[in-house]
Amino acid sequence: MTHTAHVALLIETSRAYGRGLLRGIIRYQREHGPWSIYFQPRGINDPAPGWLKTWKGDGILARVRDRKMAATIERTGVPCVDLRFAVPGLNMPAVGIDNSTIVRRAFDHFLDRGFRRFAVCSYPEGQFAWMDVRARLFCGLVEEAGFQCEVFTGSAEEDAAPPAWENEQTQIAKWVSRLPRPVAIFAVNDDRGLQILDACRRAGVHVPDEVSVLGVDNDEFLCGLATPPLSSVSINLETVGYRAAELLDGMMRRGVEPPAQPLLLQAGDVVARKSTDSLAIDDPELSKVVRYLREHACEGIRMTDITRATGMERRTLERRMKALFGRSPKDELMRIQIEEAKRLLTSTELSIKAISMRTGFANSRYFTQVFRTRVGVAPGQFRHASRGKS
């Protein structure tokens, strides 16, 4: 009889992040299992369960919160894959999202809306290692592009009065009030994004016209709870969970040596909501052009349609678009089409032909050619890769 692997899941069910990982793990074990799963509902900061000390299983998938939890897991003597990156230098394989792709999505989202003033809202340094990395990488991108980046990290003090939340909201509101506007603020996660939006409301700063706010994780509950709804960089959580389960399975069943470096996957796209629904373009004519492109790019429009609808001569339009965005109207048109195609490839089961039609391409062959040139892979390959399939 084939041995059924006994796997413990130490992953929170209290947040959308953990539940997304669990969906990927479930999909993997259905395709390649079955596994005997040891699991209890958990919070994000719960310690290792007491039963783990005497558990005789085959493998563990965990969101390791600290060194004490890591030590408890290591004493079991079974393979474990970490999905949190909270403990620097942890001696176990890990799977997660490449922070450089997160900040690139965020920065490009703001640039595409004409922003030239930037800020990042993070946490006190050392509190969350992966958040420190996000903030640092975002600032690096901004400065590399020739702009300045304002930074808020808050205070590490826990005993300040009024209560910590109110005290921090007051700090964030003061910080936002001092920022030159219009400004694009990158929040290192959706929790921070929610705080920024609340602070803007307290400070009388309008979102998105004066301040544009973008979070990370695309937690639909938090993003919908925000006023206005929060735009966010989506994380391919199901893919992360799937790949972590795949790695653990190889270690358990075949004794596969885990990679020395963490397995980092690309972030998803920005899910745009009201908090970034603005254009920081001082030129009213150019603002009209950009809005027209975003509203009609996937309708098969041509340059003649753009110039007719906006009343601008082609040469003037080319020059001014190049000065602001660094690309021509045609390039911007195609960029929007490709971004929509990527969204449809990852979130629907539409055929390549149907997607080419929905995004305004003349035929599927031309669409595939353009997609491969701009993205580096064919549409079908992109779809499979985004879902963790080989």
For residue 195, give its domain range.
Answer: 99-236+270-276
Q: Indicate whether 124 belongs to any domain.
A: yes
- Structure tokens of 53? 């000390």
Q: Is residue 144 one of the residues assigned to a domain?
A: yes
293-294-295-301 Cα dihedral, nearest 10 degrees: 40
Interval 92-119: pLDDT, tens: 999 999 999 999 999 999 998 889 999 9
CA neighbor of 279 nearest in space, from 366, 184, 348, 180: 184
In a domain, 259, yes or no: yes
- The pLDDT, as a whole number, for residue 156 is 60
**121 in the same domain as 158:** yes
* Percentage, residues of the chain above pLDDT 90: 64
Answer yes or no: do 159 and 249 share one domain: no
Instruction: For residues 211 and 247, state if they share a domain.
Output: no
| Residue 134, in any domain of the structure | yes
Residues 289 and 346 in one domain: yes
Query: What's the confidence (pLDDT) of residue 349?
Result: 87
Q: Examine the domain organization and report whether 76 and 135 are in the same domain.
A: no
Residues 167 and 260 in one domain: no
The per-residue pLDDT for range 190-209, each reduced to its tens digit, is: 999 999 999 999 999 999 98
Residue spans of the chain under pLDDT 50: 158-162, 390
Domain count, the chain: 3
CATH of the domain at 156: 3.40.50.2300
Q: Which residue, of 226, 246, 276, is where some domain finishes?
A: 276
Same domain, 54 and 144: no
Looking at the structure, do residues 137 and 257 belong to the same domain, yes or no?
A: no
Q: How much is the pLDDT for 161?
A: 46
pLDDT of residue 128: 85
381 and 291 both lie in a single domain: yes
| pLDDT tens digits along 1-45 | 578 899 999 999 988 999 999 999 999 999 998 899 999 889 988
CATH assignment of the domain containing 346: 1.10.10.60
Residues 6+ apart with CB under 8 A from 3: none
Residues 109 and 208 in one domain: yes
Together in a domain, 114 and 229 = yes
Mean pLDDT of the chain: 90
Task: Round to whole Å and give the CA distance between 364 and 133.
Answer: 40
Residue 157 is predicted with a pLDDT of 54
pLDDT at 100: 95
Instruction: Give the containing element (helix H, strand E) for 132.
Output: helix 129-144
Cβ burial 88-107 (10 Å sphere, 16+ → b, else e):
eebebbbbbbebbbbbbbbb
pLDDT at 163: 53
- Residue located via tokens 């206005």: 228
Question: Which pLDDT belongs to residue 160?
Answer: 44
User: Is residue 1 a part of any domain in this protein?
Assistant: no
> Is 149 inside a domain boundary?
yes
pLDDT tens-digit series, residues 145-154: 999 999 999 8
113 and 63 in a single domain? The answer is no
Q: Is residue 223 part of a domain?
A: yes
pTM: 0.79
What span, in angstroms and rounded, lies between the C-alpha atoms of 353 and 351? 5
Q: Is residue 211 included in any domain, yes or no?
A: yes
